[in-house]
Amino acid sequence: MADASHQPRLELDTDVLIIGGGMAGAWAAVAARQAGAEVVLVDKGWCGTSGVTAAAGPGHWWVEPEQRDSAVETRAIPTLGLADKRWMRRILEETWEWLPTLAPWYDFGTDDNGKTWYGAVRGPEYMRALRQRIEQAGVTILDHSPALELLRRADGSIAGARGWQTRQRRDWQVRAAGVILAAGGCAFRSHLLGSGNNTGDGFLMAAEAGAELSGMEFSREYCIAQAHTGMTRSMIYSFATYYDASGQVVAPVEGPDPSMRTAGLAQALQRGPVYCSLRDTPEDIREQLPEISPNVQLLFDRAGLRPYEERFEVTLRAEGTIRGTGGLRVIDEHCQTHVPGLYAIGDSATRVLVAGANTGGGAVNAAWALSSGIWAGRAVATLAQRAGRRLDEPVEGIGQAGLRPSDKPRQDSTEAARISDTVRNEMLPLEKNFFRTGEKLQRSLDTLDATWNDLRRHLGGAADEQVRNRESAALVATARWCYRAALERKESRGLHFRSDLPHTDDGLAYRLATGGLDQVWVRREESPTPSPAQPQELPA
């Protein structure tokens, strides 16, 4: 193979650049193309198979119009005062309108009455259908093309991005009127199925441009998985009974919110192995499982397990911000960040607006991914129509950590892996992240801050190495935002539980914004996100 330095850089100009090809990114591409914009979508993996949606059987929050007020009121209770009911209604309305439009590419199932049921989809087929739809619409897709940094104009607005094509082994650069970040959340390399590419890259790139994050303390979500696998996406565990190694039933810990349901398991796992029995799973669920979540049944089959007849070992798998609610803070109904021309959708954006302090699980998160993609896709298409691509203006790449070290880079190809291991050691163990205390959080932050300061000075490389370096830098940055916000929230609320402060403080029912790179800051959000009932004018 020819040396990468001899490969000419791929340069493209477009109206809308979307970074990330999961559910949210694909729906953004659908909306932008329908609005008449030219679209380039780049994906770290292969659009249609990468991301957590493709590995699951996601359900959408799908509610009949006459039942929505009741559904919102019920779903608002576990948000613990942090969600906005108007935004919850928005995603219900948008999902209801847009999801059925995929029918020419996807075979939706039917309910017991023979009526088409749009709420639940089969992840692999769903993402394949979305790819087919955007390909037929004329979207340019760059697979295996991780983004490394954003491009910025002199006025501070975002003008595109630069990255690396791992198969063609060449740089790419895309100039655009605006950029939509759909790069997913961060699972901190927990081996959660489908999350291999979710390392917080979008968070880092946006923060380098000055964007803020919100809800990062709500990153303590752990889900049940068959031991030695990363498959957590299954509702069958709602029928489970758990046992410790001595055969005693593991009792659930009673608590005011859903996040406490796994506390009993977490305590038992600290003492030894835990086993699961699915004998009480209804027969109709057993029959539907291979179709709804084929990966779950496949893993049982490969392990030679008879899950409804014998007990099997389970674990808790950290899901970080993916099933948490933290992400980039948006400032208007189009999902624009504080940075002009930069939008965040899906798991790249905060979901506190629709899920509050507790996980949006599959249904709310899926409805948010679809809806936020539609809003941002239309918005950047409109931006391109009004302001054009501004190709005559100079731009600069603004990536720093892992790309442009402040001191002499070390020539060590194993450094990125060591950094990732450091983050895993601080973010994954139950005793550190699940059972949080102020002392533990500060101790982890001391380690993470030292790691950040060192990588900021010395981590740099070229070609594939720069991809690994940027992933490692993003992991550290995301972990620091999560734990700094958790240290600042001096209570327990939803996914944020502190053993040293186990009670919820009604006076702290507000959102926390965080940001910064070398110096991480946290503050109370002084003003709420503008009401969708009072839409802001799109930027000119």
Per-residue pLDDT tens digits of the chain, which is 540 residues long: 334 455 899 999 999 999 999 999 999 999 999 999 999 999 999 999 988 888 877 889 999 999 999 999 999 999 999 999 999 999 999 999 999 999 999 999 888 888 998 988 988 999 999 999 999 999 999 999 999 999 999 999 999 999 999 999 999 999 999 999 999 999 999 988 888 899 999 999 999 999 999 999 999 989 898 998 877 766 788 899 999 999 999 987 765 555 566 888 999 999 999 999 999 999 988 888 877 777 788 888 888 999 999 999 999 999 999 989 999 999 999 999 999 999 999 999 999 999 999 998 789 999 999 999 999 999 999 999 999 999 999 999 999 999 999 999 988 889 999 999 999 999 999 999 999 999 999 999 999 999 999 999 999 988 999 999 999 999 999 999 999 999 999 999 999 999 999 999 999 999 999 999 999 999 999 755 555 644 333 333
Distances (CA, A) of 68 to 61, 76, 117, 498: 10, 12, 17, 34
Integer Cα distance of 498 and 354 in angstroms: 23
Distance CA 85, CA 353 (A): 8
Helix runs in 77-122, H state only: 85-98
Residue range(s) occupied by CATH 1.20.58.100 in the chain: 415-502
Q: Label residues 431-444 b or e (16+ Cβ within 10 Å = b).
A: ebbbbbeeebbeeb
Which CATH number is 222-318 given? 3.90.700
Residue-level pLDDT at 534: 40
The H-or-E segment that residue 215 falls in is none
pLDDT score at 5: 52
Count of C-beta atoms within a 10 Å radius of residue 244: 17
Query: E-strand spans in 205-257?
Result: 213-214, 222-226, 241-244
Q: What is the pLDDT of residue 112?
A: 80
Amino acid letter for position 322: I
Global confidence as pTM: 0.94
Q: What 8-state DSSP symbol labels residue 243?
A: E
Locate 124 and state its tokens: 């692999």
Tokens of 294: 């084929």
Q: Is the separation of the CB atoms in 275 and 251 below 8 Å?
A: no
Q: Are 117 and 111 in contact (CB under 8 A)?
A: yes
The answer to whether 321 and 479 are in contact (CB under 8 A) is no
The two three-digit tokens of residue 536, written as one number: 């802001």
HSE, CB side, 13 Å, CA atoms: give it for residue 394: 2
Residue that has been written with the tokens 């790419």 in this structure: 172
* CATH class of the 11-215+321-397 domain in this structure: alpha beta
pLDDT of residue 529: 57
Q: Where in the chain is the domain with CATH 3.90.700?
A: 222-318
143/187 Cα distance (integer angstroms): 22
Predicted local distance difference test score (pLDDT) of residue 1: 32
The pLDDT value recorded for residue 401 is 96
Structural contact between residues 198 and 324, judged by C-beta atoms closer than 8 angstroms: no
Tokens of 427: 């973010």
Could you tell me which CATH class the domain 415-502 is placed in?
mainly alpha
Q: Which helix or strand (DSSP H or E) is residue 439 part of?
A: helix 438-458
